Structure 1
């Protein structure tokens, strides 16, 4: 239950940073919140050797939210699913805290190896993170980017294949 509260507080913070002061009731009713709740219930069941019940919640998330998150996938507090449709996450994925996902994100396995995600990440709509790689803290992955190599701390990853975007000195905020 603590992780669900942390997830929703983080989602409320994201809305606030976008200029919308919304109630917790609005957050609970927002797109993606049911996917977060079902994911956390699934993880609780998986952690307590209730595999069949965990599988039921995985199936329920696919049915209700059109997203598939493997029962072994682990995310710290502040995990936010903004729009769940099309999200697919492999069961071996491990992630830190404050990870935000948009719709259509795929975080997948390649040859038995899955990504390891740091904390304070944003993953844009349609982005793919595939294989044995590490995404460090404070990384932003742009919409439709395809990440097949590790990303350094603070990077903004764009393109296919994704590469770190560097601002020109004139673009740096004063």
Structure 2
């Protein structure tokens, strides 16, 4: 079984422990060990739906209040979190079937609509409210829109 499978499996285990009051300390210990072993920081309070897929899962960071819908795919070096440390400015919300390329950063209280493809090393700081589009750049911008007949 692949490295990425183990990262997701261990995340599911420590996240379940984290949400049960009596098991929270055990969940936090497993979380710290997993961060060290897998070089990947997925906070146990992150809301990640089924079908979550990591491709080369090293250096992935997902913050505590981030929400990832079903079938989200992340490549290595992706960061999903707050814009400013120590503030309560919110976390990203990714809908279903989003693909996030290598090194991309999704920061702040933003919404990413279904089927969005985020290019490598893009920095997304504003919501992408169009379905099935590609975004790239720093800051990220839409580079192609879906055809009208495909909707």
Contact 1:85 1:103 in 2 (8 A): yes
1:57, CA displacement in angstroms? 2.1
**Structure 1 gap segments, 5+ residues each:** 1-28, 170-174
Q: Does 1:41 align with 2:19?
A: no
**Which structure carries more strand by proportion?**
2
Structure-2-length-normalised TM-score: 0.87
CA distance in 2 between partners of 1:52 and 1:157 (Å): 40
Structure 1 segment 108-147 matched on structure 2, within 5 A? 108-110=81-83, 111-112=87-88, 113-147=90-124
State the match for 2:77 in structure 1: 104
Misfit runs of 4+, over 4 Å: none
**Structure 2 gap segments, 5+ residues each:** none
1:83, CA displacement in angstroms? 1.5
Structure 1 segment 54-93 matched on structure 2, within 5 A? 54-93=27-66
**Which structure carries more helix by proportion?**
1
1:43-80 per-residue CA deviation (whole Å, 9 max, x = no partner) reads 11122222111112211221111010111101110001
1:116-150 per-residue CA deviation (whole Å, 9 max, x = no partner) reads 11011111110000001000111111110100001
Matched pairs, number: 140
- Give the one of 128, 132, 149 matched to 1:154: 132
Q: Does 1:163 align with 2:136?
A: no
CA distance in 2 between partners of 1:51 and 1:159 (Å): 39
